[in-house]
Structure 1
Amino acid sequence: MTATVVVVGGGYGGITAARAIDEFAEVVLVEPRDTFVHNVAALRALVEPSWLDLIFLPYDNLLGNGRVIRDRAVRVDHSAVTLASGERIEADYVVLATGSSYPFPAKVDVTDSALAVKKLRTTHDALADSRGVLLLGAGPAGLELAGEIKHGWPNKSVTVVDPAPEPLSAVPFPAELRAELRRQLDELGVELSFGNPLAEQPPSEPGEPGAFSVTTRPGERIDADLWFRCYGVVPTSGYLDEELAVARREDGALDVTSELRLPGQDHVFAIGDLTSIPEAKTAKAAELHAGVVAANIRALADDEGELTRYEPAPPAISLPLGPAGGVSYSPSAGVLGAERTSRLKGTSMRREVYTALLNLDG
């Protein structure tokens, strides 16, 4: 009999896993959004509205045999997924791919694509009208947003503040990468304030227009009329039953074995941002996880072959700073500058990869 696999979450890892599993099992993809959201290009779409219709991609053609259910999982156990509608889907295998939440606009925070587009347009208009923008956080999202804003509005004041002493502080990238990153940001005119936390949070809500002044603890004053929070990844794992929840860490991430199963569970897998694997939480990593899990479910369903182990990749990054700028790094290629980064990611934002995966080409 054909195995039933429920994939919970239709992000980068979820669609990759569902598409692969659809070839050999009955797959059900559960996702509350009405479309796949290409979050990699969300900041580009915020600044350049012509991208807005390009980042919301329908699920209609993803599966040839399985089905996509627009609903939210409210409880998952080792053999079934219960939905907000009350439906319970029995499963031989479960793949948890619910990812993480992150402050808008790096990730859209509504499930309806029309409402998401409206919110992005409203925020774009606020950005266009602003004179000064404050970005809190010098991780990939904060720096990418700074680059996009300066590309769209070269004369707009953009300040990035982070209490850490350097950009991308959470990952041990080579000094050459940070130097090239600083050089390009300086060339764009982005003001950087590192090692200087704010004395108080801005008085307005993120993305809410209105002039304000804040100071860093050393006393530096920053004037702006719009700000965004660019930190705070929160894994989405609150739907697990008591048995599965033992894998959840305090931050919400899930421990997994080398085969990407929850500890003590033979048929429950987790992939992507949801996992506690010590590596960058990227679309590419989620897709690699999905390949391993699809192979392992096939081996288990066929009762043959050894399971595949996932080996975390060494630190790597491709960070665009607008369509023509950015910095990339991998141990094999070393540090790549603006031109190479633009060719890798900056112009297309890899959209073609996901239109192909979703069977939207042609």
Structure 2
Amino acid sequence: MGRTVAVIGGGYGGAAVAKALDQDTDVVLIESKDAFVHSAGSLRALVRPDWAGNMFFPYDRLLQRGKVVRERAASVDPGGVTLASGERVDADYLVLASGSDYPFPAKMDTDLSSEALESLRAAHAELASADRVLITGAGPVGLELSGEIKAVWPDKSVTIVDPAGRLVPGFLPEMREDLHRQLDALKVELRLGTTLTEEPPTEPGRAKTFTIGTTGGEVTADIWFRCHGVSVNGHYLGDGLVTTRTPQGRVRVTETLKVDGHDHIYALGDITDLAEAKMAGHAMRHAEVVAENIIAQVRGERPTAVYRPSPVPSILLPLGPSGGVGQVPSPDGPAVLPAQAVSEYKGADLFIGRFTELFGRTPTGARTEAPTEAPNGASTDDGPDHRTDSRTP
């Protein structure tokens, strides 16, 4: 076989696998956005628009040998990719890395970084004018958003509504207890086991006072944000030329991350049906396995790298830059991290340095480190609810 690799999607996993393959293959990265979006920084960007430029990294220095094609994939077949323009990218290997979508502001709803920045600044202005905030969804995204809001505006009222009966199921009780303790200290009101009786009368992120019914009584808010509803990006697989997706829209893969039934087509990140939370850290580890296997095949060797989801679920969930909870695997089983460790690992700068290195540059923003202090003196920071293309350990 030849050595051309088409990678569909330039998110966490796609960018990482393209970079890892760049020296040994001929990489074509197909991505419609004009810059990589570090979505783990989006909630910080909402509350600190002066920081928002830190989450965008142009692709022009990602690859030295390969190329980036700014297009959408319309269809994929075993021989390559048909683009939305009708043009064709023939390839010897394919990597499906198209990730997922999630409601704004957790993920951007535009391909242009300039438009994304405008949307973040507009939403910030709306949020700044609101005294009472309603968040629908108590998954990691909704919880993290509450912490970011409270870090900048500790006096705002924040209410989170979710039909689930408890937070972060599947994690250790000690971590859950610490999470509740920190949310109580922030005066975040949790209404678990509660459902809205109707959709709020305004668009998410728009300031307008309303009162709405829930199964646990009324809620009055000046603005609301939707923090649930992930959707897998796999429209280009709809014709079934490569694979049939699961009812959730995902792709079945082997332990070498090959798409079932193909020896030269791989998938990674949110689109895979792997039994693990959809998180950026996992996608980037998938990328290591896929790159190792494709390079082996290009060299005429047998691909032997395998990926097995950890039996211990892990998470780093900041609540602002200095708070948060975490759980990671350890030799003695799952270990709970205190807020200080979560801040040091992730909350303080949201892994900006890692992506500065990956993309060979500083971000498009004015600084690469999060400010150490927010106005009013406050210090500054996939599950199905967790965008991975989302939060990483």
TM-score clears 0.5: yes
Q: 1:259 aligns with which of 256, 268, 283?
A: 256
* Matching residue of 2:135: 135
Structure 2 letter corresponding to 1:323: P
Q: 2:226 aligns with which of 229, 232, 254?
A: 229
Counterparts of 2:109 and 2:275, CA distance in 1: 25
Q: Per-residue displacement from partner, 1:102-127 (whole Å, max 9, x unpaired)?
A: 01100011000000000000000000
**Cα shift at 1:84:** 1.3
Deviates more, 1:138-147 or 1:191-200: 191-200
1:326-341 correspondence runs (5 A) = 326-332=324-330, 334-341=335-342
Structure 1 letter corresponding to 2:21: I
* Matching residue of 2:321: 323
**Cα shift at 1:305:** 3.6
Are the aligned partners of 2:30 and 2:71 in contact in 1 as well (CA < 8 Å)? yes
Q: Does 1:345 align with 2:342?
A: no
* Secondary structure at the counterpart of residue 7 of structure 1: strand
Structure 2 letter corresponding to 1:273: D
* Matching residue of 1:302: 299
1:1-362 correspondence runs (5 A) = 3-169=3-169, 172-218=170-216, 220-240=217-237, 241-246=239-244, 248-313=245-310, 314-332=312-330, 334-360=335-361
- CA-atom RMSD in angstroms: 1.3
Counterparts of 2:152 and 2:270, CA distance in 1: 30
**Cα shift at 1:201:** 1.9
**Cα shift at 1:2:** 5.0
Counterparts of 2:215 and 2:362, CA distance in 1: 52
> Structure 2 stretches of 5 or more lacking a match?
364-393
Counterparts of 1:176 and 1:327, CA distance in 2: 10
**Cα shift at 1:306:** 4.1
Counterparts of 2:298 and 2:304, CA distance in 1: 11
Counterparts of 1:138 and 1:76, CA distance in 2: 36
Structure 2 letter corresponding to 1:259: T
Q: Per-residue displacement from partner, 1:147-198 (whole Å, max 9, x unpaired)?
A: 00011100001000111011123xx101111100011011011000001112
Structure 1 letter corresponding to 2:32: P
**Cα shift at 1:284:** 0.6
Counterparts of 2:243 and 2:208, CA distance in 1: 42
* Secondary structure at the counterpart of residue 245 of structure 1: coil
Structure 1 letter corresponding to 2:68: V
* Secondary structure at the counterpart of residue 180 of structure 1: helix
Are the aligned partners of 1:3 and 1:26 in contact in 2 as well (CA < 8 Å)? yes
Counterparts of 1:51 and 1:83, CA distance in 2: 34
Counterparts of 1:245 and 1:309, CA distance in 2: 21
Deviates more, 1:334-343 or 1:305-314: 305-314
* Secondary structure at the counterpart of residue 241 of structure 2: helix
Counterparts of 1:284 and 1:316, CA distance in 2: 10
Counterparts of 1:93 and 1:101, CA distance in 2: 25
Counterparts of 2:2 and 2:74, CA distance in 1: 26
Are the aligned partners of 1:2 and 1:26 in contact in 2 as well (CA < 8 Å)? no
Q: Per-residue displacement from partner, 1:27-86 (whole Å, max 9, x unpaired)?
A: 000100000000011100110112111111111111010001111111111111111122
Counterparts of 2:179 and 2:337, CA distance in 1: 10
Counterparts of 1:50 and 1:78, CA distance in 2: 45
**Cα shift at 1:310:** 0.7
Matched residue count: 358
* Secondary structure at the counterpart of residue 242 of structure 2: helix
Percent identity over the alignment is 49
* Secondary structure at the counterpart of residue 40 of structure 2: helix
> Structure 1 stretches of 5 or more lacking a match?
none
Bigger RCO of structures 1 and 2 (CA < 8 A, at least 6 apart): 2
The 4+ residue runs of structure 1 with deviation greater than 2 A are: none
Are the aligned partners of 2:5 and 2:25 in contact in 1 as well (CA < 8 Å)? yes
Counterparts of 1:260 and 1:143, CA distance in 2: 31
Counterparts of 1:316 and 1:284, CA distance in 2: 10
Q: Per-residue displacement from partner, 1:86-142 (whole Å, max 9, x unpaired)?
A: 210000000011000001100011000000000000000000000111001111100
Q: CA distance change for structure 1 residues 110 and 306 in 2, over 3 Å: closer, same or farther? A: closer
Are the aligned partners of 1:136 and 1:162 in contact in 2 as well (CA < 8 Å)? yes
Structure 2 letter corresponding to 1:129: S
Are the aligned partners of 1:78 and 1:268 in contact in 2 as well (CA < 8 Å)? yes
State the TM-score, normalized to the length of structure 2.
Answer: 0.89
